[in-house]
Amino acid sequence: MLEHVRCPHLVPIPAADDTEPFTASASRDDVYSVFVCKAEPCAEKFLLKQIDGRRVALVTDDTVAALHAERLANSLRAQGIDVAMTSFPPGEANKSIDTAVRMLDWLAGTSIARRDIILSVGGGVVIDTIGWVASAYMRGVPYINVPTTLLGQVDAALGGKVAVDHPSAKNLIGAFYQPKAVVSNVAYLSTLDRRQIAAGLAEAIKKGVIGSPPLFDLIEENADLALNRDLPALEQIVRAASVVKSELIQLDPYEVDLRRPLNFGHTVGHAVETVTGYGPVLHGEAVAYGMTIAAEIAVRRGMLAEDDRSRLVGLLNRCGLPTSTLDLPGSVQPGAVTAALGQIRKIRDSKIRFVLPVEYGCTVIADDVTDDEVAMAMAATRAAALAESREGARAA
């Protein structure tokens, strides 16, 4: 016999003469597990537990499809999971509203229901795009991040900031929508080239500067191993950086306060990505350059010791990351960067907040950094790089 569940609700209504405003409220407590490992069997065991027999829509990019996602989809199917899969072209240029709409159209043609799972398998572009798609489809479908890049594992997959780019600004169209789980299998990183590993290390280095001197020390000690894809070193860095980011995010997960140390390096970094057309400069590379500029401004303001700036720049250089415009593709001019900052300023109600390091584990948020300060810092870092280059040539 069918069992019915009673749902009694006895809600009083206001008196006829009650015209005062009333308060409506809604609250949500998002909790999710982050699992870091270095082998597929343990990653899939955890993933199967999170899927819990539900249907899966797996979305990836064309490159990751061939490397990892097809194999993962077939493995899940062998365990009895109903998996639909699609992919889109790789690259930041495809982190767009057009891609998102195509993915929404594809989902509408699947059997995925509101309690099923969207599986986002790939790097930051896939994770950001599909996270936003998941937030919009059916007003929100649970999604699980399976990051396949170092940048994805230490940054993009965590925190629920999901978005696509707009020609006028990066991440302009987005939402806050937390994943159901994150599964970081560092074995996937063995297929990355050195440049991609370095770009991921930039985001980990950022977390060390703003919130964890021990993490910065760990990366200094293991950078060469990580760049050579040593899995134990990568596992340790990914786990540590994931813990640091998760701790920092939970202080203000929906950015009510706008004073966000995690934006260190991103203000100028996003401007560089905008002026170079979202592609030639990897996100981590742009952040590395942005950190260099922020550190230079902090030194010039007397906030940061020159030795601390040199230590940061030295680690970025060891990783092969850009610390001057000489390291960026094409000719990135200060005027173009400050113009892009002007667009960001317009979006943010005429204010740009720069995260400036004071010491390792401590930053300040400054909303009075001028375009002239940015231009001077860009010129100073370029001059320093040229001087070092000439010194190296003489020594050789």
What positions carry a catalytic annotation?
139, 161, 203, 245, 255, 259, 263, 266, 270, 283
| Residues forming a β-bridge with 366 | 354
Is residue 363 within 8 Å of residue 355, measured between CB atoms?
yes
179, 181, 186, 192 alpha-carbon torsion, rounded to 10°: -30
CA distance 179 to 13: 38
CA distance 235 to 130: 25
Is residue 385 within 8 Å of residue 324, measured between CB atoms?
yes
CA distance 61 to 250: 30
Q: What is the DSSP string of 265-311?
A: THHHHHHHHHHTTSSSS-HHHHHHHHHHHHHHHHHHTT-S-HHHHHH
Radius of gyration in angstroms for the set of CA atoms belonging to the chain, rounded to a whole number: 23
Nearest to 105 by CA among 81, 136, 80, 131: 136
Q: Which two tokens stand for residue 107?
A: 């989902």
93 Cα distance to chain centroid = 16
Q: Which residues of 275-314 are buried (b: 16+ CB within 10 A; e: fewer)?
A: bbebeebbbbbbbbbbbbbbbbbbbeeebbeeebbebbbe
105 phi and psi angles, rounded to 5 deg:
-60, -40
- For the chain, the 3-state helix, strand and coil shares in percent, each to the nearest 5, are 55, 15, 30
Nearest to 220 by CA among 193, 239, 201, 203: 201
